[in-house]
Amino acid sequence: MSSYYLINLLIYAAVDAMACLGLNQQFGVAGVSNFGFIIFQAAGGYAAAIMSLPDQSANGGFQSYIGGWNLPFPLPWIGAAVVGGLIALPFTFLVGRRLRGDFAAVGLLVTAVLLNLLVTNYRPLLNGDAGLSLIPAPLRADVGSQSSGYQWAFTAGAIVLTALVWLFVRRITESPYGRSLRAMRDNDIVAGSLGKNLLSLRTAMLVTGGAIAGLSGGILVSYISTWSPAAWGYAETVVLFAAVIIGGAGNHFGAILGAVLVPVGFGEVTRYIPASSSLPPYLIPSLEWVVIGLLIVVFLWVRPQGILPERKRVIPAPALAPAGPWPGEPARPPGGLPGAGPAVAPLAASTSDARQAASPSAAGMAGPAADREIVLQATDVAREFGGVRAVTGVSFALRRGTLTGLIGPNGAGKSTLLAMLAGTLPVSSGRILCQGQDVTRLPAYRRARLGLVRTFQNASEFKQLTVMENLLSAVPGNRGDSFRGALAGPRYWRGDEAAAIARAQALLTRFGLDGEANSYAGNLSGGQRRLVEIMRALMTEPRVLLLDEPMAGVHPNLARRIGTELAALCADGLTVLMVEHELAIMDDFCDPVIVMAEGAVLAEGTMAELRSRTEVVEAYLVG
Regarding predicted confidence, which is higher, 234 or 119?
119
CATH architecture of the domain formed by 341-359+371-460+541-621: 3-Layer(aba) Sandwich (3.40)
If you average pLDDT over residues 321-336, what whole number do you get?
A: 42
The pLDDT assigned to 339 comes to: 35
**pLDDT tier at 94, thresholds 50, 70, 90:** low
Going by the DSSP 8-state scheme, the letter that residue 620 receives in this structure is I
The pLDDT assigned to 463 comes to: 95
Q: Is 454 helix (H, G, I), strand (E, B) or coil?
A: strand
Q: Where are the domains of the chain?
A: 2-232, 341-359+371-460+541-621
d(CA 617, CA 140): 87
Q: Tell me the pTM.
A: 0.88
**pLDDT tier at 142, thresholds 50, 70, 90:** low
pLDDT digits (tens, 9 = 90+) for 354-404: 334 433 333 345 455 656 789 999 999 999 988 888 999 999 999 999 999
Mean pLDDT of the chain: 86
User: Which residues, in sequence order, are CB contacts of 403 under 8 Å at separation 6+?
Assistant: 351, 566, 567, 570, 576, 578, 589, 590, 591
| 277 pLDDT more than 70 | no
**pLDDT tier at 273, thresholds 50, 70, 90:** low
**pLDDT tier at 318, thresholds 50, 70, 90:** confident
Going by the DSSP 8-state scheme, the letter that residue 317 receives in this structure is P
If you average pLDDT over residues 62-86, what whole number do you get?
A: 94
| 512 pLDDT more than 90 | no
If you average pLDDT over residues 37-51, what whole number do you get?
A: 95
Going by the DSSP 8-state scheme, the letter that residue 323 receives in this structure is P
- Count CA within 13 A, CB hemisphere, residue 189: 14
Are the C-beta atoms of residues 188 and 100 closer than 8 Å to each other?
A: yes
Report CA-CA distances (Å) from 416 to 215, 250, 594: 46, 34, 15
If you average pLDDT over residues 556-570, what whole number do you get?
A: 88
| 140 pLDDT more than 90 | no
Report CA-CA distances (Å) from 255 to 34, 156, 379: 15, 20, 51
d(CA 166, CA 22): 9
Straight-line distance from the first to the last Cα atom of the chain, in angstroms, rounded to the nearest whole number? 87
The pLDDT assigned to 368 comes to: 59
- Strand 593-597 to 403-407 pairing: parallel
d(CA 505, CA 511): 10
Regarding predicted confidence, which is higher, 38 or 510?
38
Task: Return the beta strands (E) in 196-235 as ranges.
Answer: 226-227
